[in-house]
C-alpha cells in the first residue's frame, strides 16, 4: 500500500510551489524522528511543521463514531456553550502573523470549520501570508463557497465521506452524501471556470464495523468525483483498560484529569474481520481510480486484525508530535494532541505562541512522553496523529 509521501507527486502536478511547501512540512515531521528529543532550553518554535487551527466547537452533524459529537462524544452536551468561546478573526490573524515566517503546513478543522463565520477571510489571509492551507470538513456546507475557495487558492480540502450514500448517511446523517457530492461538483466547476488546479480535493474515510464492507462501493463511485486523493483512516479506538491506564498516568505524571480519550471507546471496531478488511483494501489499492488511495496506517494482513481486535497492542510508537506539531483550540488553548485536548500548554490570547511551545508545560510534556516506554503514553495506542507520524513497529 502507498506511503503518505505519494501525495507529493499529485501536488507537484497541480502546483510546484505548494508541493514544495507540503513536502517541507512532511519532511520536517520525518526529521523530528531523527533529531535528539530536546525539551528545556531549546527553541522548538523553529521546528513546527504542522499547525492545527480548530476554529469552532460547533457542528451541524452528529456522526456516530465521532469523539466530539458521536455516541460517546464529549461535546454533545456542551456544544452551544463551547461554540460561544470561538476566537475572533483578529486573534487568528495575529496568530497567523506569528507563525507565517516558519511556513508550517496548516490544517483547519473543528467541529465543522464552515460554521466559523469568518472562515473565508481567515483562509484568504493565511494564503496571502504564504501558508499552505488545508481544510478538513464534513463538506455539507461547501457548495455555496466554491467560487471563493478556488479564487482564494486554498491548498487542499479533505472531505469526510465514510461510505456510499445509504451507509454514509446512516453514519453521518441523512442527505449528507448528496450535499458533499454537490460540493465536489461545485468546486470542480469553479476550478474549470477559473482555470485553476487547486485546491486538491480529497476524501477521508474512517473505517468502522458499520462501513468496512461498503468501502468498494465508495471507491468505485469516487472515480466520477474528479478528486485527487482518498485517505482510508483506520479509525481511533480505545477500551476501558486503556482509558483507565491513561487516566492514572496523566494524573500522576502531569497532574491532568482527562475526559477526551473515553469518547473513542465507541465499540465501532468490534467485529471487524481483519482478513476481510485487508482483502477489501488490497482490492481497492489494486484498481486504478484515477487518484491515489492511502491507508493510514498501512498494515500487513495479520496486523489488520490486531489493529481492531487487540487495541492494547501497539502498531506505531515514538510519538513525534510534541517536537513538530501543535493544535490551537477554538478558545485559544494550545495542545499537542489534537483529538485529546486535556493537557493545556497555554493560551494564545495570553501569551505568544512561541513562548507557549517553548514553555515549561510544553517541555514537561515532552520530557514525560520521551521517558515512556516506546516513546508514548498508555493512551496513545490508536491515536490518529501517531498512526500518521509515529514510528513503524517491525513487522507492521
Binding site for ligand SAM (CB under 6 A): 59, 63, 65-68, 109-110, 112, 136-138, 160, 204, 206, 233, 235-236, 264, 384
- What cell does 170 get? 446512516
User: Which option in ligand SAM, ligand SF4, none does residue 62 bind, with CB closer than 5 to 8 A by kind?
Assistant: ligand SF4
Beta carbon of residue 182, minimum distance to ligand SF4 (angstroms, whole number):
16
How many angstroms separate the CA atoms of 44 and 132, rounded? 20
Q: Does 83 bind ligand SF4 (CB under 6 A)?
A: no
Q: Does 141 bind ligand SF4 (CB under 6 A)?
A: no
Beta carbon of residue 190, minimum distance to ligand SAM (angstroms, whole number):
20
Beta carbon of residue 132, minimum distance to ligand SAM (angstroms, whole number):
18
How many angstroms separate the CA atoms of 387 and 229, rounded? 18
Beta carbon of residue 65, minimum distance to ligand SAM (angstroms, whole number):
4
Give yes or no for a contact between 315 and 306, defined as CB atoms under 8 angstroms apart.
yes
How many angstroms separate the CA atoms of 155 and 14, rounded? 10
Nearest to ligand SF4 of 145, 365 (CB atom):
145
Angle ∠(203,205,211) on CA atoms, nearest 5: 135
* DSSP assignments along 174-242, one per residue: TTHHHHHHHHHHHHHHHHHHTT---SEEEEEEE--TTTGGGHHHHHHHHGGGT-SEEEEE------HHH
Stretch that binds ligand SF4, among 28-36, 107-115, 123-131, 214-222 (CB under 6 A): 107-115
- What cell does 120 get? 473565508
Q: Does 37 bind ligand SF4 (CB under 6 A)?
A: no
Q: Does 69 bind ligand SF4 (CB under 6 A)?
A: yes
Beta carbon of residue 218, minimum distance to ligand SAM (angstroms, whole number):
13
How many angstroms separate the CA atoms of 370 and 347, rounded? 24
User: Which option in ligand SF4, ligand SAM, none does residue 109 bind, with CB closer than 5 to 8 A by kind?
Assistant: ligand SAM
Helix or strand run (H / E) with residue 21: helix 16-34
The site for ligand SF4 (CB under 6 A) is made up of 59, 61-63, 66, 68-69, 110-112, 138, 160
Amino acid at each position: 500500500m502507498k506511503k503518505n509521501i505519494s501525495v507529493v507527486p499529485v501536488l507537484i502536478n497541480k502546483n510546484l510551489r505548494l508541493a514544495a511547501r507540503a513536502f517541507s512540512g512532511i519532511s520536517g515531521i520525518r526529521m523530528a524522528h531523527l533529531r535528539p528529543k530536546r525539551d528545556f532550553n531549546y527553541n522548538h518554535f523553529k521546528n513546527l511543521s504542522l499547525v492545527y487551527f480548530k476554529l469552532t466547537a460547533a457542528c451541524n452533524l452528529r456522526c456516530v463514531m465521532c469523539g466530539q459529537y458521536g455516541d460517546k462524544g464529549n461535546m454533545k452536551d456542551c456544544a452551544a456553550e463551547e461554540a460561544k468561546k470561538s476566537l475572533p478573526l483578529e486573534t487568528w490573524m495575529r496568530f497567523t502573523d506569528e507563525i507565517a515566517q516558519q511556513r508550517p503546513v496548516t490544517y483547519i478543522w473543528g467541529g465543522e470549520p464552515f460554521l466559523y463565520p469568518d472562515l473565508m477571510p481567515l483562509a484568504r489571509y493565511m494564503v496571502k501570508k504564504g501558508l499552505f492551507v488545508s481544510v478538513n470538513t464534513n463538506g455539507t456546507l461547501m457548495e455555496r463557497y466554491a467560487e471563493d475557495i478556488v479564487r482564494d487558492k486554498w491548498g487542499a480540502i479533505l472531505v469526510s465521506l465514510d461510505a456510499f450514500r445509504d451507509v454514509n448517511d446512516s453514519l453521518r446523517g441523512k442527505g449528507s452524501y448528496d450535499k458533499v457530492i454537490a460540493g465536489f461538483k461545485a468546486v470542480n466547476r469553479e476550478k474549470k471556470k477559473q482555470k485553476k488546479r487547486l485546491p486538491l480535493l480529497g476524501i477521508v474515510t474512517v473505517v468502522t464495523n458499520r462501513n468496512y464492507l461498503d468501502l468498494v462501493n465508495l471507491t468505485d463511485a469516487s472515480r466520477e468525483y474528479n478528486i485527487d486523493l482518498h485517505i482510508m483512516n483506520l479509525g481511533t479506538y480505545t477500551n476501558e483498560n486503556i482509558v483507565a491506564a491513561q487516566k492514572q498516568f496523566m494524573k500522576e505524571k502531569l497532574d491532568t484529569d482527562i475526559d477526551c480519550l473515553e469518547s473513542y471507546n465507541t465499540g465501532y471496531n468490534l467485529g471487524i474481520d481483519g482478513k476481510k478488511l485487508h482483502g477489501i483494501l488490497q482490492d481497492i489499492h489494486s484498481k486504478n481510480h484515477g487518484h491515489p488511495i492511502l491507508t493510514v496506517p498501512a498494515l500487513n494482513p495479520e496486523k489488520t486484525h490486531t489493529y481492531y481486535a487487540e487495541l492494547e497492542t501497539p502498531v506505531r510508537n515514538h510519538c513525534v508530535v510534541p517536537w513538530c506539531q501543535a493544535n490551537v483550540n477554538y478558545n485559544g488553548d494550545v495542545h499537542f494532541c489534537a483529538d485529546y485536548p486535556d493537557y493545556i500548554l497555554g493560551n494564545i490570547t495570553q501569551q505568544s505562541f512561541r513562548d507557549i511551545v517553548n514553555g515549561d508545560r510544553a517541555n514537561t510534556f515532552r520530557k514525560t512522553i520521551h521517558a515512556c516506554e516506546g516513546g508514548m503514553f498508555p493512551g496513545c495506542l490508536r491515536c490518529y496523529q501517531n498512526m500518521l507520524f509515529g514510528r513503524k513497529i517491525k513487522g507492521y
